[in-house]
Amino acid sequence: MTTALLTTEGTYPFEGGGVSAWCDVLVRELPDVDFTVLAITGGSTSPLRWDPPPNVRVVRVPLWEAGDPTTLLEPGVSLRERIRATTDAVVEDDFVPVFRRVLRGMQGVGELDGAAVHQLARFARKRHWPTAWRSRSTWRAFVAEETVFALARDGQRPSVFDLSEALRSLYNLLLPLAAPLERHDVVHVSIASSAVLPGVVAAHEWGTPVIVTDHGIAMRERALAVSTADMTPYAKSFLLRLGEYLSRLAYAYASVIAPVAEFNRRWEEHYGADPSSIRTIYNGVDPSVFAPQPKPRERAGIPTVVAAARVIPVKDIETMIRAAAVTRRIVPDVAFVLYGSTDADQAYTDRCRALVTGLDLEGTFTFAGFHPSPSELYAEGDITILSSITEGFPYTVLESMSCGRPVAATDVGGVREALEGAGIVVPPRDEEALGAAVARLLQDEDLRLSLGRRGREQVLARFRTQRSVDAYRRLYDQAAP
């Protein structure tokens, strides 16, 4: 039986969303693969959102847990001897030199040096990870390396606060190196971020092949988040350097890079991916589940636009709301119905609700929350809408196409590749263009029905679940010894 380590971050099996759906399909459709899911999460208390099948074992790595996170990674293991063995001299001799190599790799002034990453993981197995990071030797080394780098690049010395926060972030984001790791036939990394670290270690320890699947591009999403964050220039620079370092590690150690869209290739190659190692595997849906259905009686005669998205900034719900105002000027009786969690980012949800009120859209735009049957929600609308500023190869677009509903969407990630004439794409953050596209589809019945049929045909020909899963099975078979 093939064994696979599937590493996730902020997704399966503790959160919803498209990447989690992809993971669930993968592990269920490959029952002959014994999966260990190493799930990187924020804390240790969030409940399972998915019920993993019998061929899945879950190991949680809580990055931001208070106290000593290693007690959660290795429950039942006495750490007293490890703590006692992690003396100042041991940290100075065994940890700090390797730590400096990692820092220089992040700064781009040294080698990428995955061997140093592997050595940090080996140190964590024998010694006590938090003690090493809290030592004066580690702090002095970090301050020296980062101050010299910042002065040379920007001519400014980072503040003590900036340095302490940066070191704390680095400690947490490298925590997967302290997770217990067993040998598997293949490591499958679902995002080019901290989730790649166990793959780098396994590649050095056992020569394990690593597959990296990019949905959205982690580095691009990090850059978008950091650009709007309330941080000092040094803090932003540090997090971007760390993100780039992890991306480069992912692509350097990948035997195969399997993005879900060709769009991702340009980013992967920019961060060092070998073009010959890139093999796009599109997501797929089950067309027998996501099938065309008539609109429900209560929606008959109401021009209805449906969206399936969590209310979070990368989905750019604010642009969707403004687009609704644009559409209403052309189609006065239009209704927008948004299905998706409103709990992920309460501050952003509050902003979106306030925008609905401010634009007098209470009777037009509805936050409908969770829908118990995703395969049925698309039937409520004449079309669907996607307003994201970043995407991979979104399931919501494929599901809508499979249900015979055309899509008005922003031109991000693999959206254009999915639609290919089965919808209308517009620039991101352009509410006028998005609202006009929605109005056009609602007013032109022949166009709407034609695009809906074309979308269904494309799913049947190219975007079935089985086609996608079979491609991953071949990768596992080729990688496994």
Q: Is residue 104 part of a domain?
A: yes
Q: Which residue is it, tokens 């490959």?
A: 30
Sorted by sequence, the CB contacts under 8 Å of residue 29 that are 6+ apart come out as 465, 466, 469
Same-domain status, 140 and 244: yes
Whole-angstrom CA distances from 474 to 2, 20, 183, 284 are 12, 21, 20, 16
Same domain, 230 and 311: no
248, 277, 306: which is the final residue of a domain? Answer: 277
Phi, psi dihedral angles at 305 (to 5 degrees): -115, 125
The values of phi and psi at residue 230, to 5°, are: -85, 80
pLDDT tens sequence for the chain (481 residues): 899 999 999 999 999 888 999 999 999 999 999 999 999 999 888 899 999 999 999 999 999 887 777 765 665 556 788 888 899 999 999 999 999 999 999 998 777 899 999 999 999 988 899 999 999 999 999 999 999 999 988 888 999 999 999 999 999 999 999 988 999 999 999 999 999 999 999 999 999 999 999 999 999 999 988 988 899 999 999 999 999 999 999 999 999 999 999 999 999 999 999 999 999 999 999 999 999 999 999 998 999 999 999 999 999 999 999 999 999 999 999 999 999 999 889 999 999 999 999 999 999 999 999 888 888 999 999 999 999 999 999 999 999 999 999 999 999 999 999 998 899 999 999 999 999 999 999 999 999 999 999 999 999 999 999 999 999 999 999 987 6
Same domain, residue pair 322 and 447: yes
Residues contacting 125, CB < 8 A, separation 6+ = none
Residues 347 and 426 reside in one and the same domain: yes
Count of alpha carbons within 13 angstroms of residue 57, beta-carbon side:
10
- Judgement on whether residues 377 and 418 belong to the same structural domain of the protein: yes
Q: Is residue 443 one of the residues assigned to a domain?
A: yes
Query: Same structural domain for residues 309 and 379?
Result: yes
Q: What letters, b where the CB count within 10 A reaches 16 and e where it falls short, cover 61-83? A: bbbebeeebbeebeeeeebeebe
Is 263 in the same domain as 376? no
Same domain, 101 and 184: yes
CA distance 324 to 402: 24
CA–CA separation, 230 and 289 (whole Å): 44
Whether 107 and 223 map to the same domain: the answer is yes
Residue 7 placed within a domain = yes
DSSP 464-477: BHHHHHHHHHHHHH
The verdict on residue 431 lying in a domain is yes
The answer to whether the bond into 13 is cis (omega within 30° of 0) is yes
Task: Evaluate whether residue 414 is within a structural domain.
Answer: yes
Contact 69, 47 (CB under 8 A): no
Q: What is the pLDDT of residue 227?
A: 87
Give the span between the Cα atoms of 369 and 371, in whole angstroms: 7
Q: Quick one: 75 and 210 in the same domain?
A: yes
Note whether residue 211 is domain-resident. Answer: yes
What SS3 state is found at 186? strand
Q: Measured between alpha carbons, how far is 163 from 168 in angstroms, rounded to an integer?
A: 9
In degrees, to the nearest 5, what angle opens at C-alpha 111 toward C-alphas 110 and 117?
110
> Of the candidates 222, 246, 277, which is a domain's last residue?
277
Number of domains present in the structure of the chain: 2
Contact 162, 123 (CB under 8 A): no
Helix ranges (DSSP H) in 378-430 = 395-402, 415-419
Longest dimension (CA), the chain: 77
Same domain, 81 and 192: yes
Q: Is residue 92 part of a domain?
A: yes
DSSP alpha helices (H): ranges in 228-367? 233-253, 265-270, 317-330, 346-358
Secondary structure of 298-333 in the HEC alphabet?
HHCCCCEEEEECCCCHHHCHHHHHHHHHHHHHHCCC
184 in any annotated domain: yes
CATH number for the domain including 381?
Answer: 3.40.50.2000
The domain in which residue 344 lies consists of 297-463
* DSSP code for 159: P
Output the CA torsion sign for 217, 218, 222, 225.
positive
**How far is Cα 287 from Cα 401, in angstroms, rounded to an integer?**
10
Q: Are 379 and 403 in contact (CB under 8 A)?
A: yes
Q: Do 272 and 317 lie in a common domain?
A: no
CATH code of the domain covering residue 97: 3.40.50
φ and ψ of 53, to 5 deg? -75, 175
